[in-house]
């Protein structure tokens, strides 16, 4: 098979091992060591993709992770990978790839019509073009969603396996280029444990793409020597094909290592990807820099590439991407590409936007006969499936003028300067600083134990970069506790004189940006200079807002190439400097990471048990529907005769209010607390005092976190002088136990207290309603249930249906109620005995939904529903349970200015004007005279936390938090709904039923 653009010699490929592969249904040949991108270029394939919005023809631009265009669907079935970068895919025998975003084929893409409709698809077009007629939006949305996306998500289960591991080291070096190797070697020879991470299959970085010399020998010989020495050291780990994609707190760096992606599918065994979580004493970032494209007309045509990428394909892969090349640059570095192409026999013309350069490379290019056009720019490119010519004009003081000259070409190698890779540095907490001389953002002051070196720190010259890298390695080892026995010596590299770079963000056009040929900033998402200028005209000034409005940097490359150009164009439009405009946020992941890597082996059902009460099977047998509360399955409601939720809840609520109901409350957290300091612990944990609580009495308590916010609540009973049982919310049981243990172990280790979780030991049944006393009396003859003998908020020991029991008279419904606690093994027998005893009163089992309605009628809170981590006891109107004379966790925070200020959201009730309308929970609340605007933000004064229909009141009720709500009783507010309807409601007390609380004290 012909590889017509493969050079006869050179490249780090194994020509003895040819590999066949398929791209878009056609078979090609490459060699071992190729990437999919290099193999396609070797076969003369330049048109490989369609852009996202306009579906314009696109070609390969880079040779690394920043590739925005050559995005493919790799393999099929359970092994398919969507949106894989051809520049990163190592070629293997039988590889199958197809272009994405092209239907039905790359050459005959039906969505290419979008190119002719581009005037209707500017930045934010879905907010403009498709807003009329309004009733057509669902149709528009359907078509937009159909056209959106690039690759196709796999439908089959992932057939690969993934794993995770943890590592600690003294020095972590990210980047295996010249600076990374020098730093790692210096640290390792000082005795430090070193992990070196590099995303390529072989070390060397930029040295793989040039003919540099180090210590008087080819640079790659130095790479091989350093790598061999590192591999001999026992405390050095080299992770190739690995990407450090996240930098977290305390020098935790996450790395994904690709173990089998370079192998044919049939040969892949074991783990595909390994997630490393590396904790390092010191981190050295040698992540290099991305070359920037230049923004000019039709700069997206296939055949328009980065100059550095062209050199990479020549030197590393033995591929000549073009034979008639135009090198367009604003710096000296691109002249090396011109020399590389000239040495391969290509015709080369350099178009340099600068008037002159005194650098060594331009001088060498001229000596080799390269045509140099100084003070000139490429204003536009022409071609259909590949660039065929460019227009060149004179350039002076940022202005384009003179007569256009057309140069035939099949390759444009562009270089607009370099942007250090700051992603990990920024994720570590560091701030980027603009450097005018180098026209790029550089890492500022480190926040963590980290140092940036080499091109990542703006050191683009090899000689100085190596010297500083060695120093950084020595310093990192020293900071980690290792001092080198001998002074590390930096390798020798000849200094090169380099001319100054002249920033060139956008080549001026003789036509308005919106009418001339498109000048692309973000290749993948079709974001043009005109889009950014439009966003600025429409009032967008924040670079983050412009990013979202135009979708700049939203693609798989995350703006690695285009964002700096976009920021500069925005700054120019706003009359600001680039530092004033600022940068976008560098979020993890640096490159896409498969979901499998994060999941590892945590697949299917987790070992997180589903918890069921001892009477769960009874509930199932009697038709209960369940809901998940924490890990527990709790009965939601008990439908009869085809009842829906509302009918069943109405029946259950009325049964409780008028007769008697029974609730399985076994899921409530129960913590047994014993010891001489038990009271002392409770005093610290709860806001109210506990010293005087008598044995046999119960008390409600609120628990706060350190910020003074409600953390949990529940009733605690004093069983003996030094023995208590605390109840918690169902979902908060584990959290509260951990909270107690944390304080005992870290702050009060001298306290003599023992804690035991006894939730599973006890079955708890709440018998609730005006007939509840008659029911429990029938099954428990050794307890006097009279009001004086057994008052509210007290407990008694007794025997219920033959089982030893703790019976508490507490209520979460406002009705006369008793909570019967028996050993879990006796739970079902006792439950059935209670049901039998209550049969003559038509006792009704009820679920959590009815429980919520009953408690809401009484204004009782549910932590986590009516609170959200920002609510204090005073916000809830529960200042009465906050002690003034004792200390407790969170007390000091209650005096902070933000927690004591006026106008905080406070807990209130809401009664709608339309008594039958049930407000949606979470609905926002606005003042009555506030108008909702489609443009300006609408000020909210609160939100609905709980909302139900009350069968006993025959109307809807709601609980809410409203700014200053306790002082607004009787005032009306408005709840705007998503459908445009405005519901008016009156602020009321949260206690809607039995406001005097007499029903729970009934004789």
Work out the pLDDT band at 131, boundaries 50, 70, 90. Answer: low
> Is residue 6 pLDDT above 90, yes or no?
yes
Find the range with the poorest average confidence among 31-40, 76-85, 314-323, 756-765.
76-85
Work out the pLDDT band at 442, boundaries 50, 70, 90. Answer: very high
Work out the pLDDT band at 511, boundaries 50, 70, 90. Answer: low
The count of residues in the chain is 1003
> Is residue 514 pLDDT above 60, yes or no?
no
What was the pLDDT predicted at 667? 97
Using CA atoms in the order 236, 460, 335, 319, what is the torsion angle rounded to 10 degrees? 20
Q: What is the CATH number of the domain that holds 976?
A: 2.40.30.110
What was the pLDDT predicted at 87? 97
371 and 409 in one domain? yes
- Quick: pLDDT tens for 640-652: 999 999 999 999 9
What was the pLDDT predicted at 934? 62
What was the pLDDT predicted at 147? 66
Work out the pLDDT band at 601, boundaries 50, 70, 90. Answer: confident
**410, part of any domain:** yes
Residue 432 DSSP SS3: strand
- Angle made by CA atoms 283, 285, 290, in degrees to the nearest 5: 165
DSSP letters, 120-186, are G--TTGGGTTT-SSGGGHHHHHHHHHHH--SS----SPP--EEEEEEEEEEEEEE--SHHHHHHHHH
| Mean pLDDT, residues 690-717 | 96
927 and 838 in one domain? no
318 and 195 in one domain? no
**622, part of any domain:** no
Using CA atoms in the order 841, 844, 845, 850, what is the torsion angle rounded to 10 degrees? -130
> Is residue 515 pLDDT above 70, yes or no?
no
Q: What is the CATH number of the domain that holds 300?
A: 3.50.50.60
What's the mean pLDDT when you consider all of the chain? 93
Q: Which among 40, 32, 44 is positioned nearest to 4, based on CA atoms?
A: 44
| Mean pLDDT, residues 239-267 | 96
**942, part of any domain:** yes
**743, part of any domain:** yes
Out of 584, 612, 630, a domain closes at: 584
Q: Percent of the chain beyond pLDDT 70?
A: 97
Residue 829 DSSP SS3: helix
674 and 805 in one domain? yes
The pair of three-digit structure tokens given for residue 382, joined into one six-digit string: 């022409």
> Is residue 603 pLDDT above 90, yes or no?
no
> Is residue 458 pLDDT above 90, yes or no?
yes
391 and 266 in one domain? no
> Is residue 531 pLDDT above 70, yes or no?
yes
821 and 706 in one domain? yes
- Quick: pLDDT tens for 173-230: 999 999 999 999 999 999 999 999 999 999 999 999 998 999 999 999 999 999 999 9
**103, part of any domain:** yes
| Mean pLDDT, residues 255-284 | 96
> Is residue 513 pLDDT above 60, yes or no?
no
Q: What is the CATH number of the domain that holds 568?
A: 1.10.10.1100
| Mean pLDDT, residues 145-165 | 84
Q: Who wins on pLDDT, 146 or 85?
A: 85
* CA of residue 865 relative to chain centroid, distance: 25
The pair of three-digit structure tokens given for residue 275, joined into one six-digit string: 């997630």
> Is residue 262 pLDDT above 80, yes or no?
yes
**876, part of any domain:** no
The single residue listed with the structure tokens 């895919």 is 89
**343, part of any domain:** yes
932 and 841 in one domain? no
Q: Which domain holds residue 313?
A: 293-416
What was the pLDDT predicted at 128? 65
354 and 313 in one domain? yes
What was the pLDDT predicted at 54? 83
> Is residue 487 pLDDT above 90, yes or no?
no
| Mean pLDDT, residues 475-488 | 86
Find the range with the poorest average confidence among 36-45, 587-596, 644-653.
587-596
281 and 194 in one domain? yes
pTM tops 0.85, yes or no: no
> Is residue 141 pLDDT above 90, yes or no?
no
What was the pLDDT predicted at 361? 95
466 and 408 in one domain? no
> Is residue 125 pLDDT above 80, yes or no?
no
User: 986 has which bridge partners?
Assistant: 911, 972
What was the pLDDT predicted at 932? 74
What was the pLDDT predicted at 120? 62
Identify whether the C-beta of residue 306 lies closer than 8 Å to the C-beta of residue 414: yes
27 and 176 in one domain? no
Give me the number of domains the chain comprises. Answer: 6
> Is residue 563 pLDDT above 70, yes or no?
yes
Out of 395, 416, 437, a domain closes at: 416
> Is residue 129 pLDDT above 80, yes or no?
no
828 and 714 in one domain? yes
> Is residue 272 pLDDT above 90, yes or no?
yes
What was the pLDDT predicted at 496? 84
Residue 841 DSSP SS3: helix
| Mean pLDDT, residues 715-721 | 98
Out of 382, 416, 450, a domain closes at: 416
**485, part of any domain:** no
Q: Who wins on pLDDT, 630 or 858?
A: 858
């Amino acid at each position: 098979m012909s590889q017509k653009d493969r050079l006869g010699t050179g490249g780090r490929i194994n020509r003895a091992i040819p590999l066949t592969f398929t791209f878009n249904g056609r078979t090609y040949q490459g060699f071992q060591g190729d990437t999919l991108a290099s193999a396609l270029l070797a076969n003369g394939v330049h048109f490989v993709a369609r852009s996202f919005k306009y579906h314009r023809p696109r070609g390969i631009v880079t040779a690394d992770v920043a590739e925005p265009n050559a995005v493919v669907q790799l393999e099929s079935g359970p092994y398919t990978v969507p949106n894989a970068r051809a520049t990163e895919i190592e070629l293997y025998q039988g590889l199958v790839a197809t272009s994405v975003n092209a239907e039905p084929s790359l050459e005959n893409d039906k969505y290419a019509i979008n190119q002719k409709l581009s005037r209707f698809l500017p930045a934010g077009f879905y907010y403009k073009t498709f807003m009329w007629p309004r009733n057509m939006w669902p149709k528009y949305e359907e078509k937009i969603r159909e056209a959106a996306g690039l690759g196709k998500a796999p439908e089959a289960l992932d057939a690969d396996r993934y794993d995770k591991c943890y590592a600690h080291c003294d020095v972590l070096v990210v980047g295996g280029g010249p600076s990374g190797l020098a730093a790692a070697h210096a640290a390792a020879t000082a005795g430090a444990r070193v992990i070196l991470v590099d995303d390529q299959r072989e070390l060397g970085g930029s040295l793989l793409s040039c003919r540099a010399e180090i210590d008087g020998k080819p640079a790659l010989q130095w790479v091989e020597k350093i790598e061999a020495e590192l591999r001999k050291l026992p405390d050095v780990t080299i992770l190739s094909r690995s990407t450090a994609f996240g930098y977290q707190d305390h020098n935790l760096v996450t790395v994904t290592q690709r173990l089998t992606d370079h192998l044919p599918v049939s040969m892949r065994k074991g783990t595909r990807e390994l997630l490393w979580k590396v904790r390092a004493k010191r981190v050295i970032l040698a992540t290099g820099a991305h070359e920037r494209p230049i923004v000019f007309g039709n700069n997206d045509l296939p055949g328009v590439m980065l100059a550095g990428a062209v050199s990479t394909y020549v030197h590393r892969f033995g591929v000549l991407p073009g034979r008639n090349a135009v090198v367009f640059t604003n710096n000296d570095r691109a002249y090396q590409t011109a020399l590389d192409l000239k040495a391969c026999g290509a015709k080369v013309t350099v178009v340099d936007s600068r008037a002159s350069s005194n650098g060594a490379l331009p001088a060498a290019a001229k000596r080799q006969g390269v045509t140099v056009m100084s003070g000139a720019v490429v204003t536009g490119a022409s071609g259909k499936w590949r660039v065929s010519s460019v227009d060149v004009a004179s350039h002076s003081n940022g202005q384009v003028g003179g007569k256009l000259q057309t140069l035939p070409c099949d390759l444009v190698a562009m270089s607009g300067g370099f942007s250090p890779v700051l992603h990990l540095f920024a994720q570590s907490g560091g701030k980027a600083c603009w450097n005018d001389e180098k026209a790029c953002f550089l890492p500022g002051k480190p926040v963590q134990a980290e140092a940036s070196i080499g091109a990542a720190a703006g050191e683009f010259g090899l000689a100085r970069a190596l010297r500083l890298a060695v120093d950084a390695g020595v310093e990192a080892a020293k900071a980690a506790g290792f001092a080198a026995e001998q002074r590390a010596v930096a390798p020798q590299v000849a200094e090169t004189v380099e001319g100054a770079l002249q920033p060139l963000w956008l080549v001026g056009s003789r036509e308005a940006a919106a009418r001339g040929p498109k000048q692309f900033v973000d290749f993948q998402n079709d974001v043009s200079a005109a889009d950014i200028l439009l966003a600025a005209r429409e009032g967008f000034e924040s670079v983050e807002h412009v990013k979202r409005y135009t979708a700049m940097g939203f693609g798989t490359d995350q703006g690695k190439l285009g964002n700096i150009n976009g920021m500069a164009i925005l700054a120019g439009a706003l009359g600001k400097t680039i530092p004033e405009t600022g940068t976008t946020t560098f979020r993890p992941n640096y490159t896409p990471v498969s979901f499998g890597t994060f999941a590892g082996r945590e697949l299917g059902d987790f070992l997180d048990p589903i918890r069921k009460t001892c009477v769960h099977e009874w509930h199932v047998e009697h038709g209960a529907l369940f809901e998940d509360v924490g890990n527990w399955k709790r009965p939601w409601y008990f439908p009869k005769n085809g009842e829906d939720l509302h009918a069943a809840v109405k029946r259950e609520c009325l049964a409780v209010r008028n007769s008697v109901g029974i609730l399985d409350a076994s899921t409530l957290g129960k913590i047994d607390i014993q010891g001489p300091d038990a009271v002392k612990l409770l005093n610290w944990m709860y806001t109210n005092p506990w010293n005087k609580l008598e044995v046999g009495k119960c008390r409600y308590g609120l628990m706060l976190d350190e910020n003074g916010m409600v953390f949990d609540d529940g009733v605690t009973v004093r069983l003996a002088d030094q023995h208590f049982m605390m109840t918690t919310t169902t979902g908060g049981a584990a959290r509260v136990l951990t909270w107690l243990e944390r304080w005992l172990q870290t702050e009060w280790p001298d306290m003599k207290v023992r804690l035991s979780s006894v939730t599973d030991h006890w079955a708890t049944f709440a018998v609730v309603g005006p007939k509840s006393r008659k029911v429990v009396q029938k099954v428990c003859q050794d307890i006097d249930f009279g009001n004086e003998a057994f008052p509210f908020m007290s407990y008694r020991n007794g025997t219920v249906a033959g089982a030893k029991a703790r019976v508490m008279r507490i209520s979460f419904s406002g009705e006369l109620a008793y909570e019967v606690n028996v050993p879990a093994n006796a739970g079902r027998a006792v439950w059935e005995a209670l049901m039998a005893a209550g049969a003559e009163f038509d006792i009704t089992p009820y679920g959590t939904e009815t429980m919520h309605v009953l408690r809401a009628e009484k204004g009782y809170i549910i932590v986590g529903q009516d609170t959200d981590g920002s609510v204090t006891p005073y916000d809830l109107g529960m200042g009465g349970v906050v002690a003034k004379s004792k200390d407790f966790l969170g007390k000091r925070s209650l005096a902070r200015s933000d927690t004591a200020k006026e106008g905080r959201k406070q807990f209130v009730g809401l009664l709608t004007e339309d008594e039958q309308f049930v407000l949606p929970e979470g609905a926002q609340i606005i003042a009555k005279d506030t108008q909702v605007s489609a443009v300006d933000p609408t000020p909210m004064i609160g939100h609905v936390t709980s909302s139900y229909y009350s069968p006993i009141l025959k109307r809807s009720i709601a609980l809410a938090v409203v700014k200053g709500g306790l002082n607004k009783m009787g005032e009306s507010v408005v709840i705007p709904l998503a459908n445009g309807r405005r519901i008016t409601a009156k602020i009321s007390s949260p206690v809607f039923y039995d406001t005097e609380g007499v029903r729970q004290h009934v004789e």
